[in-house]
Amino acid sequence: MVAPVVVTGAAWTTPLGSGLDAVWRRLLAGEHGFVEVPSPHRLRNTQAAVVAGRPSGPAERLRGLAVETLREALEHAGLAGDGVRTLFVLGTSLGAYLDDEGERNAPLHQWADAVVGALGAKAPPVVLSTACSSGSDALVVGAECIRAGLADVCVCGGVDILTPSKRLAHSALSTLSPSRARAYDTRHDGMMLGEGAAFLVLESAAHAEQRSARILARLRGVGSANDAASMTSPDPAAAGARLAMERSLVDAGLAASDIGLVNGHGSATPVNDRAEAAAFRSVFGAEGGPLVFATKGAFGHTLGATGAMEAIATILGLREGIVPPIVGLEQPDPEFPCPLSVGAPTRHAARKGLSVTLGFGGFDTSLVFEVAR
């Protein structure tokens, strides 16, 4: 029998702040973190969602966000970072690599070594970069490490920062919206960039019980796939996304009908929204299905951090029985197969939910969470 994996701590640093409850209240109020961010380059959109009051140097900014957020996650779980059987699994989508000369001339894992060193970790971190699925895939790896008996505690998630290269790249690719992010809206025309960090503390259920830890949620199942359709565009048939969701449900021992809530990728690019709708239609049916909400309209697309931020949002949505409105969604796509949280917070009775991430390069990840309420 596979050992159960539970979530005992979580923290995020977002463009709306850092406290779990405080940020959740702002999300429920329909707020967003977008501000004007000047650029010397011509961009499709000069607004972005940034974390205020942090150093401007890319490497220092990345490491600072990671260390601060990891410390908060460990404190929330009532743990220190120096446990002998504690492992850190950290993801980013290139982080500061493209914009900091010191990072370009160093190993890709150098930033993570420095971060866990500041926390007194006994073991080197596991570091990954799977584009926008990095934060989600860190949770997949952490869960599997616990199940395999390699660690009792895995602190997992992602961090990413807004940099000139990322703004230029998404502007050149035309994935950046010239107006605003409108996920699942008939007028969707692109995503908006953001930055932040989010980490969750995973434990074996036995270890958490032994120390009488508070359990936030159970990570019931994980699933990943890669459709390899393009370096940037998803498979229009959404085969990878469908497979990732189906694998996570099998891993959780659940049927699609058991899922009452989904935090969608919701990037607001037309191709991603269509692929996501196709995947949901395939898994949940052509009508009805779970309630879908999304947070990129508030946080921006935080790239390597987004999967972990959305995992926390999924847990909070399940625990509170209410989810925020999708910021920017005003005219829902009539072809979208599931009910959407539109205009105001939406109440629900779900205890089991999915967090779905679709990354560049076809990296598709699905996480199944369950809460007791």
In the chain, the domains with their CATH numbers are 5-210 (3.40.47.10), 221-370 (3.40.47.10)
Residue numbers annotated as active site: 132, 265, 301
97 or 314, higher pLDDT: 314
192, 161, 167, 199: which is closest to 299 by C-alpha?
192
Question: Looking at 13-17, 159-163, 286-290, 304-308, which range is the least confident one?
Answer: 286-290
* Residue 290 · residue 261 · CB < 8 Å: yes
In which band, very low, low, confident or very high, does the pLDDT at 107 lie, cut at 50, 70 and 90?
A: confident
Question: Quick one: average pLDDT of 211-221?
Answer: 97
Residues in the chain, how many? Answer: 373
**pLDDT category, 287, cuts 50, 70, 90?**
confident
Burial class (CB in 10 A: 0-12, 13-18, 19+), 249: buried
Closest-CA residue to 367 (of 353, 346, 349, 347): 353
* Separation between Cα atoms, residue 224 and residue 50, nearest integer Å: 29
pLDDT at 72 (0 to 100):
98
Whether pTM exceeds 0.95: yes
Beta strands per DSSP E along the chain? 5-13, 34-36, 47-49, 86-91, 126-128, 153-160, 196-204, 217-226, 261-263, 291-293, 322-323, 346-347, 352-359, 363-370
What is the model's pLDDT at position 2? 65
Q: What average pLDDT does this structure show over 361-368?
A: 93
Residue 340 confidence class, pLDDT cut points 50, 70, 90: very high
